[in-house]
Amino acid sequence: MRLTLTVNGAEALIEVAPHSTLLNVLRDELVLTGTKEGCDEGECGACTVLVDGEAVDACLLVALSVDGAEIETVEGLTSEEGTLSALQEAFITAGGVQCGFCTPGLLMTLTALLRENPSPSNDEIREAISGNICRCTGYAQIIEAVGSVARQENGR
Ligand code: FES
Ligand code: FES
């Protein structure tokens, strides 16, 4: 069946099986492998992408159910020239990346948070990432990274 998506600003027309998930389409059809497959059942958040601006688990979405949607993946956070987003830079600076498996999902969850709330409290950050599991337990550094972006944005 024919699926139309806008992925990181570019239109994509893809033939998909009726049961394909958005995660399958992104990784297998569009070769956007930055989005990770962890549990494949909505528990770990490794597959988080933005669908029309909202952070969702791509492993839980039947691709055809989001036909016509605007999708943002971790690849879309970096400019065409390769410049990292402020949040990506902050993850590196704060040591918020260890093995990195959870990182794309966390970046997408937190990108959505910062768009909605440019000055989140630590509790709001914790709440936002409650569905993203970091097996390396780098939560303190991740929260510090988000805080530093919020401080930059607010000139503090
Ligand atoms: S792979 Fe989707 S939530 Fe774990
Ligand atoms: S950095 Fe390894 S799972 Fe989070």
Q: Which of 27, 33, 44, 108 has the most ligand 1 atoms within 8 A of CB, as the residue to mutate?
A: 44
- Compute, in angstroms, the gap from residue 59 CA to the centroid of ligand 2: 19
Same domain, yes or no: 16 and 44: yes
Same domain, yes or no: 28 and 93: no
Same domain, yes or no: 67 and 95: no
- Measured CA angle at 27 (ends 22, 28), to 5 deg: 100
Q: Is the CB of 108 under 6 A from ligand 1?
A: no
Contact 14, 28 (CB under 8 A): no
* Residue 62 domain boundaries: 2-77
- Compute, in angstroms, the gap from residue 99 CA to the centroid of ligand 2: 5
Same domain, yes or no: 59 and 8: yes
Same domain, yes or no: 7 and 69: yes
- Count, residues in the chain: 156
> How many alpha carbons fall within 13 Å on the CB side of residue 41?
1
Last residue of a domain, one of 77, 96, 127: 77
Same domain, yes or no: 13 and 64: yes
First to last CA, the chain: 51
Assess whether pLDDT exceeds 70 at residue 156: no
- pLDDT mean over 9-36: 97
Torsion angles phi and psi, residue 70, rounded to 5 = -100, 120
**20/50 Cα distance (integer angstroms):** 18
- The neighbour count for residue 12, using CB atoms within 10 Å, is 16
Last residue of a domain, one of 77, 104, 131: 77
> How many alpha carbons fall within 13 Å on the CB side of residue 56?
20
**pLDDT digit string (tens) for 102-145?**
999 999 999 999 999 999 999 999 999 999 999 998 899 999 99
- Compute, in angstroms, the gap from residue 132 CA to the centroid of ligand 2: 10
Pairing of strands 2-7, 10-15: antiparallel
Same domain, yes or no: 57 and 95: no
Atom of ligand 2 nearest to the CA of 134: 4
What string of DSSP letters covers 118-140? SS--HHHHHHHTTT---TT--HH
Atom of ligand 2 nearest to the CA of 136: 2
Atom of ligand 1 nearest to the CA of 36: 1
- pLDDT mean over 37-51: 98
Question: Which CATH number is 66's domain given?
Answer: 3.10.20.30
The model's confidence at residue 153, banded by pLDDT at 50, 70 and 90, is confident
Assess whether pLDDT exceeds 90 at residue 78: yes
Q: pTM, whole model, 2 decimals?
A: 0.96
Atom of ligand 1 nearest to the CA of 38: 1
